[in-house]
Copies of this chain bind each other. A is one copy, B any other.
Amino acid sequence: MNILVWNEFRHEKENEVVSDIYPNGIHGAIAGFLEGEGHQVKTATLDEEEHGLTEDVLAETDVLLWWGHKAHDEVNDEIAEKVKQRVLDGMGLVVLHSAHFSKVFKKLMGTTCDLKWREADEKERLWVVDPSHPITEGLGQYIELEKEEMYGEHFDIPAPDELLFVSWFEGGEVFRSGATFRRGRGKIFYFRPGHETYPTYHNEEVQKVIQNGVKWAYNQGTPKHVYGNAQPLENISEK
């Protein structure tokens, strides 16, 4: 499996709090715990040429992880469209935290993907609401994060195909924080936690979920449909 971890990679350059937590960038941290198990893991970032998302790179990527926050608008429209098309053609996509507002995710969802948020060092508990799903393998009843940014409902997404986690926040909100969507031949997993000022991606249970999510999103050869004008069965053509 060829994995690509894409990161905006701006907070790490501008904020010491973030670079102290993620000295190799958020992408480096994520790539780190995805390596092993025989996967090929690469990274790409916003400021690389074509954001590191050339057609060749996309064509050979099986699962793409996306982290972005403050520079969604700087992602080139055509490249966002190419990434979307590659998902429809079968590439898995794992959408992390504030990437709910990325161009790629919004295009795929068709909604605003808006939500409530608050930075107040709140405790988060991600409760497993679907204990049959492979993305929850190896977990307990919930994941507890001592401090995270709050994301609250209403989360303006289509009803997920599968709802895996619902978060509780100290301040009174809930959030559908783990959800899957199928679009075309592609599988998409949205996973909420991961604000840049907290060490969330160093949490082993968070890592386990992302590892599981990548495996789940991998398409190993599902049918390619033909579209357009179709041939009839013989009995029709003979009419």
Contact = CB atoms under 8 A, between A and B. Distances in A.
Interface stretch (A11-19, A180-188, A191-199): A180-188
Summarize A's interface: helix, strand, loop or mixed: loop
A47 to B, nearest CB: 27
A109 to B, nearest CB: 6
A176 B168 CA distance: 12
A239 B136 CA distance: 33
Q: How many copies does the complex hold?
A: 4
B159 A182 contact: yes
A14 to B, nearest CB: 21
Q: Which of A115, A122, A176, A227 has the most CB atoms of chain B within a 10 A radius of its CB?
A: A227
A107 B132 CA distance: 18
Contact of A223 (B114, B128, B221, B237): B128
B168 A163 contact: no
A167 interface: yes
Contacts of A153: 127-129, 166, 225
A145 interface: no
Contacts of A137: 219-222
A76 interface: no
A222 B154 contact: no
A158 B156 contact: no
A118 B161 contact: no
A110 interface: yes
Contacts of A229: 116-118
A97 interface: no
Contacts of A116: 226-230
Interface in A161-185: 161-163, 166-174, 176, 181-185
Interface in A119-136: 120-122, 125, 127-134, 136
30 contacts: A84-B110, A88-B156, A107-B110, A110-B110, A111-B183, A112-B227, A114-B228, A115-B227, A117-B229, A117-B230, A118-B232, A120-B237, A122-B232, A127-B153, A127-B173, A128-B222, A128-B223, A132-B183, A132-B184, A132-B186, A133-B222, A134-B222, A137-B220, A150-B230, A150-B232, A152-B230, A156-B225, A170-B236, A171-B230, A171-B233
